């Protein structure tokens, strides 16, 4: 029941945000920005509203939203995991780390787990190249990681309520 109430507010919210905007050509991006600043991300319902308002299809709007990295398309999780894909980390095993974490969490980068606990993202360089591969969890940097050590960091978080 609680979950449903939450969904309803999102829907209404999206509708409200889209209401009264002037819908000239090219207004899609400002609309997306507006939604993101209110909701923190672009929800499927909000995307539908924007499509409706702009006379575009949902997929077209999604295409625009995914083109710009500024837009988040899933609700941010309680913990944000950023894995570095900068040159040094990439060469130092960052790719493998990312693949491992992505499999572990069951989500692609840019997404949030179903229980809304973790979001996974990639970044270009965290400025700690000497410690590659590097991952940041909620702003805390961990370096010299192996897939299993990264996993245990997560396990620690996961045991939290």
Partner 1 sequence: MHLRIDDQEIDVPPGTTIKEAAKLAGIKIPGLCDHPELERYGGCRLCLVEVEGIRGYPSSCTMPVSEGMKVRTNTPALKSLRLNILEMLLSEHPCICLICERSGMCDEVREGMRKVPQTMGCRYCPKDGRCELQEAVTQIGLKKVELCRIGTEKEIIRSPFFDRDPNLCILCGRCVRACADRGVSAISFVFRGFDTVIGTAFEKPLEDVGCRFCGACVDVCPTGALVERANKWSGVAKRVVETICPYCSSNCQIGIEVKDDKILRTRPKGSKLCVRGRFGLEFVSNQRLTRPMILKGEGLVEAGWQEAMELVAERLGGYKGRRFAMLLSGVLTNEALRTAKKFSERVMNSRAVAEDTSSDFSLTEIIQGPLLAVGDLAETNPATELAIRHSKPVVISPFRTMLAKKASVWLRCRPGEEPQVLEAIAKASVQENTDALGDTVISAEEILKAAKLLGKASVVVGPDCNRAVRKAAENLVRVIGGKLCVVGRNCNSRGVAVLGLDQGYEETMQSLMSGEIAAAYIVGSNPARSDPELIESLSNLEFLVVQDLFLTETAKLADVILPAASFAEIEGTYTSSDGRMLQLMPALSAISKSDMQIISELCHKMKGRLPDDPASSRPEGTKTWTGKGQQSEDITSSGSFILVEGPCLFEFGSGTRTSRVRDLQYLNKDRYVDIHPRDAARHKISNGEPVSIQSRGRSIRGLARVSMSVPEGVMRICGRASRIASAEVRRDV
Instruction: Pick the binder of partner 1 from 56, 125, 141, 157 (CB under 8 A).
Output: 56
Give CA–CA dist 148/30, Å, rounded: 42
Instruction: Pick the binder of ligand FES from 56, 125, 153, 157 (CB under 6 A).
Output: 125
Query: 29-41 b/e with 16+ CB inside 10 Å = b?
Result: eebbebbbeebeb
Instruction: Pick the binder of partner 1 from 28, 31, 62, 71 (CB under 8 A).
Output: 62
Instruction: Pick the binder of ligand FES from 59, 87, 146, 149 (CB under 6 A).
Output: 87
* CB 61, min distance to partner 1, A: 7
Q: Taking Cα atoms as reference points, which of 58, 118, 67 lies closest to residue 109?
A: 118
| Cβ–Cβ < 8 Å for 28, 61 | yes
* CB 24, min distance to partner 1, A: 19
| Cβ–Cβ < 8 Å for 117, 79 | yes
* CB 131, min distance to ligand FES, A: 7
Residue 101's contacts (CB-CB under 8 Å, 6 or more residues apart) are 81, 83, 120, 135, 147, 150, 151, 154
* CB 49, min distance to partner 1, A: 9
Does position 76 bind partner 1 by CB under 8 A? Answer: no
Contacting positions for partner 1 (CB under 8 A): 4, 7-8, 11-12, 15, 44, 47, 51-52, 56-63, 66-67, 69, 73
């Amino acid at each position: 029941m609680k979950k449903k109430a939450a969904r309803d507010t999102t829907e209404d919210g999206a509708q409200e945000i889209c209401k009264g905007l002037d819908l000239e050509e090219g207004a899609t991006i400002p609309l997306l920005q507006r939604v993101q600043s209110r909701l923190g991300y672009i929800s499927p319902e909000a995307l539908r509203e924007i499509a409706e308002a702009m006379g575009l299809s949902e997929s077209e709007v999604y295409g625009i939203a995914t083109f710009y990295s500024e837009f988040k398309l899933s609700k941010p999780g309680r913990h944000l995991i950023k894995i570095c894909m900068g040159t040094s980390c990439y060469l130092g095993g960052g790719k493998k780390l990312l693949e491992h974490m992505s499999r572990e969490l069951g989500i692609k980068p840019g997404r949030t787990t179903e229980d809304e606990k973790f979001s996974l993202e990639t970044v270009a360089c965290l400025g700690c190249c000497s410690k590659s591969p590097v991952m940041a969890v909620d702003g805390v940097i961990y370096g010299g990681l192996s897939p299993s050590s990264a996993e245990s960091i997560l396990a620690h978080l996961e045991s939290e309520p």
